[in-house]
Amino acid sequence: MTYDEVISAFFVPSPAGAVPLPVQNASPARRLRDAIEPIAMHSVWSRGTNERLTALGLDFMGAYTWSRAAGLGEPDPGVVVSSFAVFEPAMITAIYEQARNTCDRDTLLAARAEATIASLTAVLDGIDVTGVADRLAAAAAGADPTGRPLFAGIASQPWPGEPVGRLWRACELIREHRGDSHVAASIARGLDPVEMNVLTEVWVGMPLGSYSATRGWSAEQLAAAADRLRAAGLLDGDTLTEAGRRERDELEARTDAMESSIVGALVAHLDEDIAVLDTCSARCVAAGAFPPDVYKRAAG
């Protein structure tokens, strides 16, 4: 799938005035998560980075999968499937194996970092990010890597020297820390990967199956997962029951709790830092370097 094909599919603005449920009355940890998302994902959505990785022979999904997995070293496909958690295993295995055989890890990581920092520097021109980058970097460096493979993998990479590079790396780290934490909370609840997807998309406000299908799950797998959630009393038709909303809210609260060390390290400047991050993220969206759909942003 080419970058332009992905842009055509995903860069559809959400309805005017749309506000996803988790954004309403958001906790400090959720506010931070939403503020950093477009910055952390600049390496995925920026045209400059995609064109650089396309020149190495990687299409959009190959670049995404191999770039994210490369933080783990050169793992076996099963490790990638386990760490990514919410993607259909056969799909992600095939993409990963092809991408890994196309471009070596060191070349990939160097090109990805160089292109992403150059693109983000241009997008954020005129915004002083030194203070927020340093604070986020310190918070990320002090976060617990236990049971968080994607976070731990990125944490082993060298820090960029320039403020924009540190900002991107810190946002990427904090995003993966929360993602790993959320997977742990979901597993503890007994959810399987398809159920994780379905429960999140309907909680955010997306139609059932609309987002989960982009992660490789078939219509039959999605229908079966929805039936399991209905049998558990969490879904009524295609919407959450009161019990389902409480359950997904509790998953969010558990995830927030696992991010308390990061939020605590930032608390003295949290509001002002989130304001700067929101400005930076708005620039990313305006530059076409992150989807304009607020539901996509809230779902991760």
Residue 295 lies in a domain: no
Q: What is the pLDDT of residue 31?
A: 98
Mean pLDDT, residues 98-124 taken together:
98
For residue range 54-93, list pLDDT tens digits in order.
Answer: 999 999 999 999 999 999 999 999 999 999 999 999 999 9
Residue 298 lies in a domain: no
Residue 161 lies in a domain: yes
For residue range 115-160, list pLDDT tens digits in order.
Answer: 999 999 999 999 999 999 999 999 999 999 999 999 999 999 999 9
> Residue 137 sits in which domain range?
22-289
Q: What is the pLDDT of residue 15?
A: 87
Mean pLDDT, residues 160-167 taken together:
97
Q: How many structural domains are present in the chain?
A: 1
3-state secondary structure of 239: strand
For residue range 13-33, list pLDDT tens digits in order.
Answer: 888 888 998 999 899 999 999
pTM strictly above 0.85? yes
**pLDDT band (50, 70, 90) for residue 182:** very high
